[in-house]
């Protein structure tokens, strides 16, 4: 846990009054205090007024008793420094919020997750906008489908939730490169998150696209966005460039107006608060359960002597890293800390309230003395599980909130139904190295020495580096890489046979034998660019040349693999299987089929005996490592319905016995109890909709969870799953 820079005595002040006060005090007047403001409950879903007759309307207008269309000028969300609170439309206000990331939730599930958050008693949601999710190439923007942030924001308004928006440009969020586009690194000497003119030019261009979409949805303009964060935890970044923050402040003010409440978030450490705060941006803090609440808010008072107390990231759980156990946080500690903050009158955002899934290649990484990539699952041990199911932690939080405000009437929506599709046999379709003509149709790039992903403009995924042995190697010779040059994992094949794995912060040498002219391939996997740490300029691929017994190799062919494009064109289902040697060890594509029961249900995918898998389901890639924090993959129903797409899969330490298989079941991991709750209380139920079937069969008998489940036998629609294996291990 983070510690505050100093202990500060906090004295209770009177409750925030309902009358308006004079303008805010100067920000740096160091006065300490805590208020317990009156909480205004969430507005609830919007309702249209009853139709009014024209004579009555005319009389009201003449009397000045009716504002025309509730003029936006009458709406306000402001800081009251004198009474230490927020004021919403002039009335003291405190929010209880939760974080949800639309990019980690399939669009068909947005309403379900948001409704469960509203029914939990939240008045607001906190939302990140990942820049790289919307501008994959310079000047190319995507706001369609799952990326339709405007539709997501409109849905929050429809459900009666306010929004605390965090548009970056840097967001962290354990997201690929902290939300910054990797194409920024096409300029190798760029200084990210600084006043570097090249970086600022890209930021300004992006903000001129994004912020005009946001402005009409600000609370002052009739929308539901009450505040907007500028950057994110900037104090933790080495640059400490206040000129950069001033530039962002100017851009946000120019594009959003002078009335919107802008804020920053940093930890309670004095150095981070010094570098991450700026006059004109209200400073908030973040800390988790177990922290001394009084001392933590004392850190905020060090930079904001007056104004509302705000914890912008109260950690309900924590993220998982590859190779480590699933993280969990005690619901007792989470509930106790939340209650302590609400008793002080603080506004609180719970991070995360629903974590979701890092689909495709969007999982990031931390750098904490070493590279720590984040798993596909972003369950976060959050109150709403990765599958969107209420947990015991949610109901403990809901109970705390009920002590401070009325809860919405009605039952909590139940856990989503899940279906056990059964065991799926997998057959090898093609070895990866035999499919380079499909995966890289433009052919290889020739270079004397290896080039990075950024140099060849490859954002994500995989690149094959190919050369030849320059001489006969009749005794084992050491193939090695310079320190910190494997980013992030390289699978070495000689004559298309797997020989070993090179790893970032791990093994950097393997031994090989062969003849002059033998083909040497290294498949490099990008496991996610650093999202938090000292340096987020995280270049990928081979950053240095490989050598054979200290003799540098040269004359490389570099194949950037575009698996997504091949899938969109129907591969591999539109192509006959490659004639690959069955016993060859190495990365390969496997396919199988399963039947769906009419309506596609959510499920969980498990690869027994496999160690590392990369999949692409309906355009949403996922990874699994069965021996560590994530042996199962959550698969939403909409993805099951379109599960016709393959992806590359890498690497158990040993080949599982044939027949190779995967299993689509209702088995949930990490294990949690789920709830189907009514107004009278909570009843624990498993989320199982159908029991685990016997191999190659499906059992249509349901186990109910408070709602009806389709019990029809599997229909005729056929989908296929894929997987693949190679030796080497994690």
Q: Catalytic residue numbers? A: 233, 313
CA distance 344 to 84: 11
Q: What are phi and psi of 158, to 5 degrees?
A: -60, -35
CA–CA separation, 634 vs 356, rounded Å?
9
d(CA 5, CA 179): 29
What span, in angstroms and rounded, lies between the C-alpha atoms of 68 and 65?
A: 10
* Helix or strand (DSSP H, E) at 242: helix 242-256
For 502, the 3-state DSSP assignment is strand
Look up residue 452 and give its two tokens.
């990075």
Q: Which two tokens stand for residue 75?
A: 């709406």
Q: Which residues, listed in sequence order, are joined to residue 477 by a DSSP beta bridge?
A: 512
Positive or negative, the CA dihedral 53, 58, 64, 70 is: positive
Distance CA 615, CA 633 (A): 10
Helices (H), 323-427: 331-343, 392-402
| Token pair recorded at residue 154 | 């409109």
d(CA 312, CA 297): 12
CB 611 within 8 A of CB 729: yes
The answer to whether residues 64 and 112 touch, using CB atoms and an 8 Å cutoff, is no
CA-nearest of 384, 315, 382 to 348 is 315
| 221 burial level (CB within 10 Å; 0-12, 13-18, 19+) | middle
Instruction: Please list the residues that pair with 603 across neighbouring strands.
Output: 635
């Amino acid at each position: 846990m983070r510690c505050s820079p100093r202990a500060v005595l906090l004295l209770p002040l009177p409750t925030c009054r309902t009358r308006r006060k004079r303008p805010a005090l100067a920000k740096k007047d160091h006065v300490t205090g805590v208020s317990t403001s009156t909480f205004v409950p969430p507005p609830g879903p919007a309702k249209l007024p009853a139709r009014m007759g024209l004579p009555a309307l005319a009389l009201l207008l003449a009397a000045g008793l009716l504002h025309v269309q509730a003029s936006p000028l009458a709406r306000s969300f402001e800081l009251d420094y004198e009474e230490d609170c927020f004021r919403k439309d002039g009335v003291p206000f405190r929010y209880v919020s939760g974080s949800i990331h639309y990019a980690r939730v399939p669009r068909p599930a947005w309403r379900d997750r948001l409704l469960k958050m509203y029914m939990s008693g939240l008045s607001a949601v906190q939302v990140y906008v990942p820049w790289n999710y919307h501008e994959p190439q310079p000047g190319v923007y995507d706001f369609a489908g799952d990326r339709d942030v405007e539709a997501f924001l409109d849905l929050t308004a429809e459900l009666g939730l306010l929004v605390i928006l965090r548009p970056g440009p840097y967001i962290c969020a354990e997201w690929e490169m902290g939300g910054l586009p990797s194409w920024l690194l096409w300029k190798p000497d760029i200084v990210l998150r600084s006043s570097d003119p090249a970086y600022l030019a890209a930021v300004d261009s992006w903000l001129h696209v994004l912020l005009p979409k946001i402005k009409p949805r600000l609370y002052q303009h009739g929308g539901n966005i009450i505040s907007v964060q500028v950057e994110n935890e900037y104090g933790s970044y080495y640059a400490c460039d206040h000129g950069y923050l001033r530039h962002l402040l100017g851009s946000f003010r120019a594009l959003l107006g002078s009335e919107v409440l802008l804020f920053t978030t940093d930890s309670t450490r004095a150095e981070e608060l010094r570098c991450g705060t700026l006059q004109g941006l209200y400073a908030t803090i973040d800390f988790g359960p177990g922290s001394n609440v009084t001392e933590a808010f004392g850190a905020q008072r060090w930079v904001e002597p007056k104004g509302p107390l705000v914890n912008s990231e109260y950690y309900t759980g924590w993220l998982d890293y590859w190779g480590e156990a699933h993280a969990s946080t005690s619901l007792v500690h989470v509930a106790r800390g939340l209650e302590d903050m609400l008793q002080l009158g603080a506004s609180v955002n719970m991070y995360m309230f629903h974590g979701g899934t890092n689909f495709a290649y969007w999982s990031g990484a931390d750098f904490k003395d070493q590279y720590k990539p984040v798993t596909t699952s972003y369950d976060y041990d959050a109150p709403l599980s990765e599958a969107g199911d209420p947990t015991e932690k949610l109901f403990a939080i809901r109970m705390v909130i009920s002590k401070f405000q009325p809860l919405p009437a009605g039952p909590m929506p139940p856990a989503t139904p899940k279906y056990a599709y059964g065991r799926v046999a997998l057959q090898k379709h093609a070895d990866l190295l035999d499919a380079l003509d499909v995966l890289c149709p433009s052919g290889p790039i020739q270079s004397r020495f290896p080039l990075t992903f950024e140099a060849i403009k490859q954002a994500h995924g995989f690149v094959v580096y190919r050369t030849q042995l320059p001489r006969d190697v009749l005794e084992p010779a050491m193939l090695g890489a310079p320190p910190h040059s494997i980013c992030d994992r390289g699978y070495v094949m000689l004559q298309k046979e797997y020989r070993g794995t090179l790893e970032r912060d791990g093994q950097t040498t393997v031994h090989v034998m062969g003849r002059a002219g033998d083909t040497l391939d290294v498949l490099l996997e990008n496991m996610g660019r650093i999202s938090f740490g000292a340096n987020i300029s995280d270049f990928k691929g081979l950053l240095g040349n490989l050598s054979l017994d200290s003799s540098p190799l040269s004359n490389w062919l570099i194949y950037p693999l575009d698996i997504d494009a091949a899938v969109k064109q129907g591969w591999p289902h539109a192509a006959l299987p490659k004639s690959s040697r069955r016993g060859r060890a190495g990365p390969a594509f496997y396919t199988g089929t399963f039947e769906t029961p009419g309506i596609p249900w959510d499920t969980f995918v498990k690869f027994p005996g496999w160690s590392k898998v990369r999949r692409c389901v309906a355009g949403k890639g996922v990874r699994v490592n069965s021996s560590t924090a994530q042996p199962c993959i959550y698969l939403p129903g909409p993805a099951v319905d379109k599960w016709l797409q393959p992806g590359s899969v890498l690497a158990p330490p040993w080949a599982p016995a044939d027949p190779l298989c995967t299993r689509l079941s209702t088995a949930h991991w990490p294990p949690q109890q789920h709830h189907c709750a009514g107004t009278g209380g909570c009843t624990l139920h498993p989320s199982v909709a159908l029991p685990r079937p016997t191999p190659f069969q499906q059992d249509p008998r349901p186990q109910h969870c408070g709602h009806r489940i389709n019990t029809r036998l599997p229909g005729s629609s056929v989908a296929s799953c894929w997987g693949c294996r190679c030796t080497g291990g994690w």
